[in-house]
Amino acid sequence: MKPATVNHSRLLKAAAQLKHGSSLVADRIIAENPNGSNSSWSGVFRKLRLQRDRLHDDSSPRIDKPAFSVFAKGNSKLPFYAFSSMAILDCAGYGECGVWCYSKQAWRNPNAAGRQISNSMLLASEKGRRLIEDEFMKLPKGIVFRLYVDGDFDSKATLKFWMELLKRRPDIQAYGYSKSWVELVALHLDGYEWPKNYLLNLSSGSRHDDGLKAVVAGLPITRGEFIAVPVDRRHIKSGAYKSRHAEGFTDYAKAVRSNSDKPRLFVCSGQCGDCLPAGRHACGDEKFRNVPIAIGVH
């Protein structure tokens, strides 16, 4: 039998069903390749379906092990600990960014997509959130933590869950990007006291208007904007956007600045921890509060 084909539409439908306790699409994908390896689409969905069963097993109050690790421990592009959930599915405020969302590139890898879906499933249940909480409290002391590489706050409840966890770990320096502006404003209007160890970047491509954006920009946790700026494709094809040490980065940075309408701008180097000396990064630095940070659309 031909192995399962999982395009973006089918993947999102399977993820949404698993998040809410169903597995009709996942069942079909597994049936199309029942003997697939653990790293195949059918193997990944077998693990996710088993996690679904454990999350909805009323005989057990806890789930001991997730289908995929909850947190990722850095790589050459992102040297910090990080959390992701299912992009687009969990992005409450996404708009035009859904067209060019970089997370879709990761969906070519079944395991990368599986990690996102697994975390979305965990966040959707009380039992799953307890597991995330347990794993978060085990993270090393004093780390830099990116909250959401893929995905976003899908609700006010999820937003508050994370903010409360960060309060319990004041040693962790957290930052992130979000278009879930309705949820952020709603929690703020509750009189919520925000954690002091989280900085928010307002990412471009939201479905919301500038009026709501201005309100979120005034929140005490907001560092400033992170925007995507169109540039000539030669800058992207050359890889100049990937590092400030890359050949052609200076010309690329000039193109970003000239194509933006911002009078003052810091150009992202493409690698967290690479843009400033000593492993610092502008997106999580108070010194860059209210300074727009930009990257070329890629």
Q: How many beta carbons lie within 10 A of that of residue 110, not counting itself?
A: 22
Within a domain: 247: yes
Task: Write the pLDDT tens digit of every residue in 145-199.
Answer: 999 999 999 999 999 999 999 999 999 999 999 999 999 999 999 999 999 999 9
- The number of beta carbons lying within 10 Å of the beta carbon of residue 155 is 16
pLDDT reported for residue 93: 86
pLDDT of residue 271: 84
Low-confidence ranges of the chain (pLDDT < 70): 1-5, 76-77
pLDDT for 4: 54
Counted domains in the chain? 2
- Domain region containing 287: 221-298
> Would you say residue 32 lies in a domain?
yes
Whether 256 is covered by a domain: the verdict is yes
Segment (H or E) for 295: strand 293-296
Q: Beta strands 266-267 and 198-203: pairing type?
A: unpaired
Does residue 23 form part of some domain? Answer: yes
Q: Classify residue 288: in a domain, yes or no.
A: yes
Q: Is residue 75 in some structural domain?
A: no
pTM exceeding the 0.75 threshold for the entire prediction:
yes
Give the span between the Cα atoms of 133 and 242, in whole angstroms.
33
Strands annotated E in 106-242: 144-147, 173-178, 198-203, 222-229
> Domain end: 16, 31, 55, which one?
55
Domain assignment of residue 17, yes or no: yes
